[in-house]
Amino acid sequence: MKGVYGAKGRIGLIVPANNSVIEPEFWSVLPPGFSVHATRILARGDLTPEAIRRMERDTDAAVEQIAATGVDVIAYCDMVTTFVMQAQWNESSMQRFAQATGVPCISAWTALRDALAKLGASPSARPTPRRSTRWCPHSSGARNSR
């Protein structure tokens, strides 16, 4: 039986611990009767490929934790993993998570891919790892290293 929150639908999020944006964004657009529930995975140190791989090792526990809340769908909300893990990581992991919990699972990447397909858009670029640079608005378009 569903409680007061999420009577129409409950969304479960698996979020990197350093992400403070996704939950407020969801709450700002959810229609009445829907709720969002999150659990976090921790990436320690700099976000290197090895740190992302270590973080990914914690996802099975996070999936089990968020599924225990009785959510209707689980969203793995980390696009960086897409750039670091092997090809097809998103598809195989979402399938594995869904089989383990009985709850449909999506990732940031699979949601983006499916939305673009629904719009009839074809891929025009391939995602690549972010460089250690930042945008400097005062430099006429130049990038400065950190």
What is the rounded CA–CA span in Å between residue 10 and residue 61?
A: 19
Q: What is the pLDDT of residue 125?
A: 59
Q: Which one is the CATH code of 9-145: 3.20.20.60, 3.40.50.10190, 1.10.10.10, 3.40.50.12500? A: 3.40.50.12500
The C-alpha atoms of residue 53 and residue 32 are separated, in whole angstroms, by 37
Euclidean distance between CA atoms 66 and 106, whole angstroms: 13
What per-residue confidence (pLDDT) applies to 89? 80
- Residue 134: the pLDDT is 44
Mean pLDDT, consecutive 10-residue stretches, the chain (146 aa), reads 78 90 92 95 79 84 95 89 74 92 91 86 62 43 39
Secondary-structure percent of the chain, ordered helix, strand, coil, rounded to 5? 35, 20, 45
